[in-house]
Structure 1
Amino acid sequence: MISKMRRAWDGPVLVKGILHPEDAVLAQKAGVDGIVLSNHGGRGMDCSVAPIQVLEQVLDRTSGKMPVLLDSGVRRGTHIAKALALGARAVMVGRAPVYGVAAGGKEGALRALSLLKSEFDRTMTQLGCPSVAELSSDLIFRPGRREVEGAGFKWSGAA
């Protein structure tokens, strides 16, 4: 179906709802311009994997040859920084501005987005990253990893 749509439409095509690396490869082979890793906020199946958990696997399988965006579970500026550090091209948010609209209309939505941006900016400062280009997966702590490097020090701890 995606291949048929791709042939019928000359504009950009993004496929949202990818959660498995093989599905990302199939979308890539169908000629899409990018994908959005999303579990649609957990509304369809509350036990589905979080997109951030599969992001690196999807990027590995698609060899970085198409944009991979991340959606679902993004509630804080730190979440945005993590997704970008792990390789997402962009991050999508939905609930924050919707909650803002419910609480305060357009101004509420703008305030919610402003809070996300402030949290993101503060996170970038705390990480010592002046730009998104400075983010990398080396900044992400992974439980079970024995060595943590950064800020001029190296720590080895229990797995």
Structure 2
Amino acid sequence: MEIHALAFLSNHFHLLVTVASAQRLASFMNYLNSNLAREAGRLIRWREKFWGRRYQAVLVSREGEAQIARLRYVLAHGVKEGLVGSPLDWPGAHCARALLHGTPLAGRWVDRTLEHAASRKRRPAGPGAFVTLEELRLAPLPCWKDLAEHRIRAHIRDLLEGIEREGRRREHRTGAG
């Protein structure tokens, strides 16, 4: 599986991925959604159903224009809602900065299985004992896979600048901001 883009908002998220099969996608989404629900529920002490509905997969064609349009859609989150002026300003998990600079996204993974096993055996562990730092390097769009990295970043910069311009126009039209 290759992850090309992601944006997480307060009540939903978007991923742009390439998968080998529908079964692989379903398995991945099951794993991701169930772990996100458990972790978020743990953080806010929520014990009821977490997701309002099942995830929705949208097939993106092999055409380059369609891939770029879907990437732009994911990148625009936060700006199109008028919440930030640039995708780079989004305070949550978002792919814009990683794609623009060609750097991996970084995060922490808590191994809840090991944590639970240690607690059942009453083995004390310090804070962070079950935490590992993880990196996710985003894959280029299939239509950009043969481009040099600096060309891909230039395309990303163009997309971001267009999104920011649209956000400023929308703000000017609506008087929001």
Higher relative contact order (CA 8 A, sep 6+): 2
| TM-score (structure 2 length as normaliser) | 0.29
Q: Give the TM-score normalised by the residue count of structure 1.
A: 0.32
- Greater Rg by CA: 2
